[in-house]
């Protein structure tokens, strides 16, 4: 029995709205007529296109190659013809060079993809190579290249791996459904990760609003005779943020500006673990992912297995379309997701959800003056002073904001969520981070 309370400082309890989709089994969406695959779907250097307009491709063929270590390739997600290579709207913002493939409807796979019975005997380097070749980037939304995370420097050994099944973002249920339906695949992925890292302690972290997932995982862990602990955590946002999750489970503090490996930890999302299993066992690249399509604005909320590159509007159509009073389309969850100006944007590797939010749900209104109620201070999981930083940024005092620690902000949105004056802290902090980074670069 653990005596310590598994939690972290701060945080909020937003309405969950998980009931919209949590009981909907994952549905496979038929491949769309065309896909739009941006060369940048990950943190790091953009990949380089290796196909030309007119080329024929099969599912799983590399269409753009990783450039540098912190970069990942991408693959064709339908079979067909490359129609165009041009900038297209991207869900994370702006226009990004994208490869557009017209689907020939044959669904032909690249011959390389095949199940390898002896995959478990591969050495760590070969496993990592397969992970890189499969184009894996963190599927929780941050999209950090997976093979980089799995290659810690020799002086930073990892002793603890945490599988992140917290899914603390309201509305989203994709990870929840995966844990119920792909329990064993995920755990095979965990085995692979722990083998690569050669680490002893494994935890599977799930918030206690998903008791069925906790049960399924515990059952499977027992049956597979794995030495990992399934931990049920009290619900609190942002439980799934790496640093907060590590604090809750191991009570270790990741240093400000540092990474989990600085305290011997590594965190991967459940979707990534499943993809790692596919990549290592079958050399199957990341060509599809589970997306929760939900919100009061979606007529039939669902969890859908979607080909990467499918435009949002097609996915939304598959879920019955949006209602009249929809005012926001969001890539990701409601707390950290990105609002879209167009429904043309494609599903990318980090698209955990597509939300259609109605005017009522968003509760948008103009900000009032700060009344210093300090709720933002109380909820900040990073222990910052959001009210003070916001005030300084409004006066363009970026140096002061830097001093106050704006670069440590994880943009979880707890402060803006709780603010009775509806001050848009995260907006200001994102802006300030850009300005501060610019200044630091200029000084260097």
Q: Which two tokens stand for residue 3?
A: 């005596």
User: Rounded distance, CA 126 to CA 132, Å?
Assistant: 10
Residue 335 CB, nearest approach to another protein (Å): 4
Judged by CB under 8 A, the number of residues near another protein is 67
Query: Which of positions 51-70 make contact with another protein (CB under 8 A)?
Result: none
Residue in 307, 269, 304 with CA at minimum distance from that of residue 286: 307
Residue in 60, 87, 85 with CA at minimum distance from that of residue 286: 60
- What residues contact residue 181 under an 8 Å CB cut-off, 6+ apart? 25, 26
User: Rounded distance, CA 136 to CA 215, Å?
Assistant: 28
Judged by CB under 8 A, does residue 46 bind another protein?
no
User: Rounded distance, CA 190 to CA 204, Å?
Assistant: 9
Measured between alpha carbons, how far is residue 370 from residues 54, 397, 405, 422 in Å? Answer: 57, 17, 20, 9
Contact between residue 423 and residue 390 where contact means Cβ atoms under 8 Å apart: yes
Q: Which of 130, 177, 247, 307 is the binder for another protein (CB under 8 A)?
A: 247
SS3 438: helix
Site string for another protein, 146-185 (x = CB under 8 A): ------------------------x---------------
Residue 376 CB, nearest approach to another protein (Å): 8
Give 222 or 430: the residue with its C-beta nearer to another protein.
430
User: Rounded distance, CA 159 to CA 150, Å?
Assistant: 12
User: Rounded distance, CA 291 to CA 273, Å?
Assistant: 16
Residue 380 CB, nearest approach to another protein (Å): 8
Query: Which of positions 181-210 make contact with another protein (CB under 8 A)?
Result: none
Helix axes 425-443, 386-394, angle to 10 degrees: 70
Query: Which of positions 293-352 make contact with another protein (CB under 8 A)?
Result: 322, 326-330, 334-343
> What would you report as the CA-atom Rg of the chain, rounded to the nearest whole angstrom?
21
Give 208 or 323: the residue with its C-beta nearer to another protein.
323
Omega prior to 97 cis, within 30 of 0: no
Q: What is the DSSP letter of 322?
A: B
Query: Which of positions 89-148 make contact with another protein (CB under 8 A)?
Result: none
Judged by CB under 8 A, does residue 393 bind another protein?
no
Residue 374 CB, nearest approach to another protein (Å): 4
Give 156 or 430: the residue with its C-beta nearer to another protein.
430
Residue 371 CB, nearest approach to another protein (Å): 5
Give 35 or 370: the residue with its C-beta nearer to another protein.
370
User: Rounded distance, CA 138 to CA 429, Å?
Assistant: 23
Judged by CB under 8 A, does residue 265 bind another protein?
no
Residue 289 CB, nearest approach to another protein (Å): 21
Judged by CB under 8 A, does residue 245 bind another protein?
no
Query: Which of positions 353-392 make contact with another protein (CB under 8 A)?
Result: 355, 357, 361-364, 368-374, 377-378, 381-385, 387-388
User: Rounded distance, CA 146 to CA 41, Å?
Assistant: 13
Judged by CB under 8 A, does residue 434 bind another protein?
no
- What H or E segment, with its residue span, contains residue 392? helix 386-394
Q: Which of 164, 197, 416, 433 is the binder for another protein (CB under 8 A)?
A: 416
Q: Which of 254, 273, 298, 304 is the binder for another protein (CB under 8 A)?
A: 254
Q: Which of 419, 432, 433, 436 is the binder for another protein (CB under 8 A)?
A: 419
User: Rounded distance, CA 397 to CA 385, Å?
Assistant: 15
Q: Which residues bind another protein (CB under 8 A)?
A: 9, 12, 14-15, 170, 243, 247, 253-258, 322, 326-330, 334-343, 355, 357, 361-364, 368-374, 377-378, 381-385, 387-388, 404-405, 408, 411, 413, 416-422, 424, 426-427, 430
């Amino acid at each position: 029995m653990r005596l310590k309370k598994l939690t972290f400082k701060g945080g909020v309890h937003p309405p969950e709205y998980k009931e919209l989709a949590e009981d909907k089994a994952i549905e496979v969406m038929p491949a769309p007529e065309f896909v739009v695959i941006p060369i940048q779907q990950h943190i790091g250097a953009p990949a380089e296109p290796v196909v030309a307009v007119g080329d024929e491709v099969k599912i799983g063929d590399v269409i753009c190659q990783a450039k540098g270590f912190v970069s990942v390739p991408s693959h064709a997600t339908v079979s067909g013809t490359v129609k165009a290579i041009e900038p297209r709207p991207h869900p994370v913002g702006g226009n990004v060079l994208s490869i557009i493939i017209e689907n020939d409807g044959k669904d032909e796979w690249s011959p390389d993809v095949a199940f390898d019975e002896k995959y478990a005997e591969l050495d760590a380097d070969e496993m990592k190579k397969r992970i890189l070749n499969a184009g894996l980037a963190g599927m929780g939304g941050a999209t950090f290249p997976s093979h980089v995370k799995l290659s810690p420097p020799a002086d930073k050994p990892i002793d603890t791996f945490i599988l992140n099944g917290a899914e603390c973002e309201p509305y989203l249920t994709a990870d929840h459904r995966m844990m119920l339906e792909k329990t064993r695949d995920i755990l095979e992925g965990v085995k692979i990760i722990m083998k690569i890292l050669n680490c002893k302690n494994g935890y599977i972290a799930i918030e206690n609003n998903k008791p069925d997932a906790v049960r399924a995982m515990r059952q499977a862990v027992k049956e597979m005779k794995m030495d990992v602990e399934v931990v049920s955590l009290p619900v609190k946002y942002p439980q799934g943020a790496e640093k907060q999750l590590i604090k809750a489970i191991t009570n270790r503090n990741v240093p400000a500006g540092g990474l989990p490996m600085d305290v011997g930890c590594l965190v991967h999302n459940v979707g990534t673990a499943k993809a790692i299993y596919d990549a290592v066992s079958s050399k199957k690249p990341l060509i599809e992912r589970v997306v929760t399509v939900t919100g009061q604005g979606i007529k039939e909320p669902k969890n859908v297995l979607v080909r990467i590159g499918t435009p949002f509007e097609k996915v939304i159509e598959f879920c019955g379309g949006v209602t009249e009073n929809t005012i926001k389309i969001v890539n990701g969850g409601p707390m950290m997701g990105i609002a879209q100006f167009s429904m043309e944007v494609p599903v990318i590797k980090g698209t955990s959800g597509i939300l259609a939010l109605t005017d009522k749900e968003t509760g948008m209104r103009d900000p009032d003056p700060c009344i210093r109620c300090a709720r933002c201070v109380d909820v900040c999981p990073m222990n910052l002073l959001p009210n003070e930083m916001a005030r300084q940024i409004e006066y363009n005092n970026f140096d002061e904001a830097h001093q106050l620690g704006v670069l440590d902000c994880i943009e979880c949105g707890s402060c803006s969520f709780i603010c009775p004056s509806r001050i848009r802290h995260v907006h200001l902090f994102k802006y300030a981070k850009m300005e501060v980074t610019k200044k630091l670069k200029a000084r260097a």
